[in-house]
Chains A and B, each alone.
Chain A
Amino acid sequence: MAGSANPPGPEPPPAAPSGGAVPAARPLPGAARSRAASPGRRPSPRVAQLKRTAYFFRQNTLAMAGLVVILFFLIIALVAPFYPGPNESLTIYCGSYYPGSTGNSSGICNTVCTYALGGTPPGPNCYAVPAEEPSLLAPTVSLRPLSIGSFPLGSLTEVPSGNLFYNTATGLIKGAPWSLSISIAIVGSGALIGLLLGALAGYLGGLTDEVIMRFTDIFLSIPALLLVLVVLSVAGQLGGFTSTLYGRLAILIGAFVVTWWPFYTRIVRGQVLVTREQKYIEAAKASGARPGRVLVRHIIPNSVYPVLVQFSLDVGTIPIYLGTIIYLGYPIWPTALFPEWGTITAKAVSQEFVSAQVLLCQISTSCTFPWWQILFPGLTVFLFAIAVNFLSDGLRDALDPRLRR
């Protein structure tokens, strides 16, 4: 927030008087008056408006909490590249298999070894799965200290191939930049396309409006998750560039953009239809502004706030969607364990992982279900979504004069 360092004064400006039916109609009468009184102090009504919005935003405790959580995640994402990665010199191997297994890769590990890459395995029983842990069967599950790194993330059946595993904490930290950037890229491109098309449809009207909105209707009637899945499964067959990491990312973003633009188009069109009837648009036209200038300078800046609110709401759902797709078994990433929050959550509750744990619990006399591997990634995804929810609520309240109290 640009105005956060500079409070707008002790007296909060009054809410827009009656006639402020349009959210965020600018400039506010109050701003215009104060500028007339002291011309030098407030250079631009937009800055004044921004300060006013920031003031109302800061009054909202939940929104500020959401902002703090988002900032926390952003900081983690920024320092993540400097965080020590998964220990490359440690590989996790099966020590021995549970009785009855033939010992091939389809077996379930009874014990797990870690040893330096290139070294020799220390022995068949180097790291036994802790047998002294209390069982979940017990009526009280004793919550032990948070040792979120002690189990490899992923299916134990994958172990003999010598895969590199993230532990949960490392995965979450390393996943922050990926999750945030993927979410913003996906929703941002969808919002941009929707903004342009919606502004065109609302401003030009007529045939353009009709064509664009019919397309919107078509896309809106396909359930979003299904369309993403269909596009992904078709694109996955193409091969070549699409099998690399950046190719996969491009496909993923493309699949979501195809799904997401109609929502924004509809929102922006509705907003533009209201905005273009305003007096200041008439004034701009009367003073000889060309349609393109009216659209870009006047209509889009004044219709962009609902997009901002929806954008911040949608960013939080992307890890949930990605996790859902991963849980359904569709391989989005070129590697099995990509550090992305939704993916980590989905892997932690995936069928193969849980069934491996169940088998472990059945063959050992007592065991602990690795709840921390579900709790912490799930909590991260949940917190992210709920923080952006609060943030977008606060933004809407601060931007819409009718909702200010």
Chain B
Amino acid sequence: MQMWVYIVRRVLLVVPVIIGVMSITFALVSALPKSIRILSYFGPSKFGDGPTVDCERFGLKPPYPGATECPNPWWVHGTKALGLNLPIPVQWGKYVVDSFTGHWGFTGADSAATSMLSIGTGTPVLTVLSWYLPYTLELAALSLLFILLFSIPLGNLSAVYRNRPIDQASRVMSFSGFALPPFLLAILVLLALALLSGGYHAICSGTTTPYFLWYGSWPVWSCPPYNAAPYFGVQPAWIGPNFQTSPTHFPTIDALIHGDYYLAWDTIRRIIFPALTIAFTSMAGILRFVRNSMLEVMNLDFIRTARSKGVPERTVIRRHAGRNSLNVTITVLGLTFAFFIGGFPITELIFNLKGVGLVLAYSVLPPQDFGLIFGTTLLFTIIVVAANIIVDILYAYLDPRVRLG
């Protein structure tokens, strides 16, 4: 099979999965009471949230002479506008088609997320997510970099020096990453940084301490609110309202385009520690898999052959064994990607990073913003699926048996 045929086939296979995910979110939305669904899009009304209202109280014209109960205009309008009067399969079809064509609904009228993020009510969900996604992608890229940077050499080392101190140390690290609650780890990192640079009282005392010069707006605890824009602290002049002047929405890339090297470095500096936190918590499984696969590879015949030919041990480990255990690393990375992405809401909330995870963290707070919740979930799922495709393609590229067999 040609490589491009394999890629096209792999991408096409994803469509049913995405439709399935949409069906799950659709089922969940349909489980919500109608009044809540209308409320979350149109906000509260003076008519209340029931299907009918008292005619006399609001001076409405009765549907037939002598009737006391009138249809609630808010309910009628909401039902019609949201298509709640249609049959369920038709609603499902509209939902799927709309999701594929980029109509992901609007932010809620009266939700915690809209006020805490100040993104305005009735903003299209996809627009909101497009503001926040680039930052999450930068964070994900840096975390992945850290994961690869640490797990491959460490896993190889602990396989080579099996049951020696370095192996035990890496095992302890992997266990701790698994067993430490991510929120606790993130807060400990935050507190350690605060203590190391500026002292505990410095957390909210302004921007003059070294802590704030370096780590900007991470701690929001009992501090004045910061800008809701995806950029922290003081916004440079070239970022206009609604980001018209930011071409890509990726903070680092935008800053580089505008020649603002300080801001580019500043942005990266702020996500180093969150990325390390995420990497540490999601590295546990990967590290173990790398170690085990390396151990298995080291026992294979071709390693013995290479050694008996007199290939130096360094080269055997790097070239022969290391490259062959790389496949496993990539596979495991694909398998654990959903877990990795699931750690973003909590990390972004604690470090106050303006990413999609923060949007989700705020939108589950009551009063919930269902448009944002489902939009964020769908977006994260698409990221996971896309990552899996990339992993599969990489795997097929590294191991021709996959696409040929």
Contacts and interface: CB of A to CB of B under 8 A. Distances in A.
B361 A223 contact: no
Given A230-B28, A230-B377, A234-B32, A222 B183 contact: no
Interface string B338-362: 1101110110010000000000110
Interface stretch (A125-133, A186-194, A270-278, A382-390): A382-390
A355 B384 CA distance: 35
Q: Is the interface of A mostly helix, strand, loop or mixed?
A: helix
Nearest to B284: A389
Given A221-B17, A223-B380, A359-B222, A329 B361 contact: yes
Given A223-B342, A378-B181, A234 B20 contact: no
A386 B349 contact: no
A327 B24 CA distance: 25
A233 B364 contact: yes
A226 B20 contact: no
B24 A221 contact: no
A391 interface: no
Interface string B152-178: 000000000000000000000001101
B238 interface: no
A233 B342 contact: no
Contact of B203 (A221, A329, A358): A358
Interface in B172-223: 175-176, 178-184, 187, 195, 199-201, 203-204, 220-222
Interface residues of A, number: 58
Interface stretch (A93-101, A116-124, A345-353): A345-353
Contact of A389 (B16, B21, B175, B381): B175
B31 interface: yes
Contacts, number: 159
Interface in A316-331: 316-317, 319-320, 323-324, 327-331
Contact of B183 (A217, A346, A355, A361): A346
A319 B183 CA distance: 12
A346 B33 CA distance: 31
Interface string B358-371: 00110011101010
B381 A222 contact: yes
Among B184, B200, B203, find the residue whose CB has the most chain A CB atoms closer than 10 A.
B184
B183 A324 contact: yes
Interface in A214-243: 214-215, 217-227, 229-238
B366 A236 contact: yes
A346 B59 CA distance: 51
A323 B185 CA distance: 12
B360 A226 contact: yes
B36 to A, nearest CB: 5
Contact of A374 (B16, B17, B184, B200): B184
B338 A223 contact: yes
B181 A234 contact: no
A71 B222 CA distance: 42
B360 A331 contact: no
B179 A382 contact: yes
Contacts of B136: none
Contacts of A359: 222
Nearest to A223: B342
Contacts of B187: 349, 354, 374
A390 B373 CA distance: 36
Contacts of A345: 181, 184
Nearest to A356: B222
Contact of A137 (B31, B201, B339): B201
A235 B370 CA distance: 12
Nearest to A316: B179
Given A218-B24, A234-B28, A358-B204, A323 B181 contact: yes
23 contacts: A137-B201, A221-B21, A221-B385, A222-B21, A224-B339, A225-B342, A226-B377, A229-B345, A229-B360, A233-B364, A233-B373, A236-B366, A238-B33, A324-B181, A324-B346, A329-B365, A345-B181, A354-B221, A355-B222, A358-B204, A358-B221, A369-B200, A381-B184
- In the A-B complex, the 3 residue pairs with the closest CB atoms: A218-B20, A385-B179, A223-B342
Interface of A: 135-137, 214-215, 217-227, 229-238, 316-317, 319-320, 323-324, 327-331, 342, 345-346, 349, 351, 354-355, 358-359, 361-362, 369, 374, 378, 381-383, 385-386, 389-390
